[in-house]
């Protein structure tokens, strides 16, 4: 493994390592932001949509919370001849596609929930081992650039998802939407398996149940920087997921767009396009200027845009804020992976550790809708759409905390 880490990667290799990240994020951008909020209205009353969205996403995130580090740790101990990550990616994608089929065919909330939970489980069977490919294969000197490629794939996937899915769903093309998601997952999975070459581990760690369970605890006392990066990401992701989960309903209720799916897709497309302006450049310069400076700038921009969001009822202003937020989001995304990999504990269990780090994204998926959903419905009872002001006020707090706390990370610049 050390030999693999010492080898400098070409730009093509960095691109191929990151390409499956496009499929994963297209998948979740389409489902979480557009498909699920729209399809959910077929099963629940409009007045209860906040609670049911929170329930669905909260239960699904619990599945992720367990499956990410679990299957990451299992892949760390795998000894397949083709590598310890790629077999999990293959199996996970096939199961993911089955779950998508159940979601499309669902005629009740309970069936829709079952399909969604299967999608969460199988997607993370693939994603947890996949996330370890970057620290497995990329040398330290290129991790900022590699993180930039991952951030670029995230942004491009969102551009593609928001530019197509909102329009498709608004016009009733649900089958085509699910088909596009499934085909992208399958094709980019095949490219990853064929062209990303792993170095098979010669002596996998022996499986001892007690040691396996204990390995999921990363001591904040022993690895304080890992803990601080974890908590800063929790707060940033709380802000991002709160906005992401409720932007469609905001456009429907506050802006007053009946065709809210298409308007949501357009809004998020603009955010993604301007994120692309900053994502790759910030990742490149973070190797030279340091990760923390980029986080400070990005967090300040996102908090400012969220603060203005509280007072707007104009779609034009939403677009302007989307541009501002996109620049901050892109900059943060560009250093997100690099900052985490810089502070990973010095072990060979990269998939497990990246799975634990990814809990900083999963926990907000649970917490954000559980907090924001009831806030939305409760404050809306006092004054029409007042709940959205309360929800965006919490977003401001999240971004401020996530930005300020990064100063405690000592070993990263």
Dump pLDDT digits (tens) for 16-37.
Answer: 989 999 999 999 989 987 899 8
**pLDDT tens-place string over residues 280-337:** 677 666 666 677 788 888 899 999 988 887 777 778 888 888 888 988 988 887 777 7
How far, in Å, CA of 245 to CA of 236, rounded? 14
b/e 228-264 (16+ beta carbons within 10 angstroms → b): bbbbbbbbbbbbbbbbbbbbbbbbbbbbebeebbbbb
Q: DSSP assignment, residue 84?
A: S
The confidence score (pLDDT) of residue 350 equals 61
Using left for φ > 0, alpha for ψ between -120 and 50, and beta otherwise, residue 172 falls in: left
How far, in Å, CA of 149 to CA of 137, rounded? 14
How far, in Å, CA of 67 to CA of 98, rounded? 18
Domain segments of the chain as ranges: 8-197+220-408
- With beta carbons less than 8 A apart as the criterion, state whether 343 and 409 touch: yes
Joined together, the tokens standing for residue 135 give 């620290």
Q: Give 371's Cβ-side CA count (13 Å radius).
A: 18
In angstroms, what CA-CA distances link 201 with 64, 76, 99, 235, 379?
26, 9, 32, 36, 55
In angstroms, what CA-CA distances link 293 with 235, 300, 348?
17, 11, 29
Instruction: Evaluate if pTM is beyond 0.85.
Output: no
Give the right CATH number for 8-197+220-408 from 2.40.50.140, 1.20.1250.20, 1.10.10.10, 3.30.1780.10.
1.20.1250.20
How far, in Å, CA of 387 to CA of 377, rounded? 6
The confidence score (pLDDT) of residue 270 equals 86
DSSP, residue by residue, 27-61 = HHHHIIIIIHHHHHTTTS-GGGHHHHHHHHHHHHH
How far, in Å, CA of 149 to CA of 283, rounded? 8
Please report the sign of the dihedral spanned by the C-alpha atoms of residue 302, residue 246, residue 184, residue 5.
positive
Q: What is the pLDDT along the chain (413 residues), one digit of tens a residue?
A: 433 444 777 888 888 989 999 999 999 989 987 899 889 988 887 777 777 887 888 788 788 878 877 887 788 777 777 778 889 999 999 999 999 999 999 999 999 999 999 999 999 999 988 988 877 787 767 776 777 788 788 878 888 888 788 789 888 899 999 999 999 999 999 999 999 887 766 666 665 656 666 666 666 677 788 888 888 889 999 998 898 778 878 888 888 777 777 788 788 888 888 887 787 677 666 666 677 788 888 899 999 988 887 777 778 888 888 888 988 988 887 777 777 777 777 666 666 666 677 777 777 877 888 788 888 888 888 887 778 888 889 999 999 999 988 888 776 66
The confidence score (pLDDT) of residue 207 equals 57
Joined together, the tokens standing for residue 13 give 């290799």
């Amino acid at each position: 493994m050390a030999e693999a880490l010492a080898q400098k990667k070409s730009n093509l290799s960095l691109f191929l390592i990151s390409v499956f990240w496009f499929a994963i994020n297209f998948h979740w951008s389409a489902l979480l932001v557009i498909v699920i909020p729209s399809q959910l209205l077929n099963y629940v009353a409009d007045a209860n949509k906040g609670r049911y969205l929170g329930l669905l996403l909260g239960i699904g995130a619990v599945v992720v919370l367990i499956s990410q580090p679990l299957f990451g740790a299992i892949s760390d101990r795998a000894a397949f001849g083709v590598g310890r990550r790629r077999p999990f990616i293959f199996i996970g994608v096939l199961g993911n596609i089955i779950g998508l089929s159940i979601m499309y065919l669902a005629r009740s909330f309970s069936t829709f929930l079952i399909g969604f939970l299967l999608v969460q489980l199988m997607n993370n069977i693939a994603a947890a081992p996949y996330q370890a490919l970057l620290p497995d294969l990329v040398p330290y000197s290129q991790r900022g650039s590699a993180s930039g490629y991952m951030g670029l794939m995230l942004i491009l996937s969102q551009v593609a998802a928001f530019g197509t899915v909102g329009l498709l769903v608004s016009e009733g093309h649900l089958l085509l939407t699910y088909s596009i998601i499934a085909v992208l997952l399958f094709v980019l999975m095949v490219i990853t398996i064929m062209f990303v070459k792993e170095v098979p581990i010669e002596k996998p760690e022996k499986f001892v149940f007690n040691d396996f369970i204990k390995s999921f605890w990363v001591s904040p006392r022993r690895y304080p920087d890992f803990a601080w990066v974890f908590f800063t990401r929790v707060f940033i992701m709380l802000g991002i997921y709160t906005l992401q989960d409720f932007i469609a309903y905001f456009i429907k209720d506050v802006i007053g767009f009946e065709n809210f799916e298409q308007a949501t897709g357009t809004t998020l497309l603009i955010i993604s396009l301007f994120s692309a302006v900053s994502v790759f450049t910030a990742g490149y310069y973070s190797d030279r200027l340091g990760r923390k400076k980029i986080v400070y700038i990005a967090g300040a921009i996102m908090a400012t845009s969220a603060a203005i969001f509280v007072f707007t009822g104009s779609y034009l202003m939403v677009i302007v804020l989307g541009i501002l937020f996109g620049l901050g989001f892109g900059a943060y995304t560009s250093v997100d992976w690099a900052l985490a990999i810089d502070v990973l504990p010095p072990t060979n269990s990269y998939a497990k550790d990246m799975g634990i780090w990814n809990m900083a994204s999963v926990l907000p998926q649970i917490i954000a809708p559980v907090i924001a959903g009831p806030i939305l419905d409760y404050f809306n009872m006092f004054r029409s759409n007042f709940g959205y002001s309360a929800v965006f006020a919490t977003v401001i707090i999240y971004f401020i905390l996530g930005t300020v706390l990064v100063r405690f990370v000592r070993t990263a610049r």
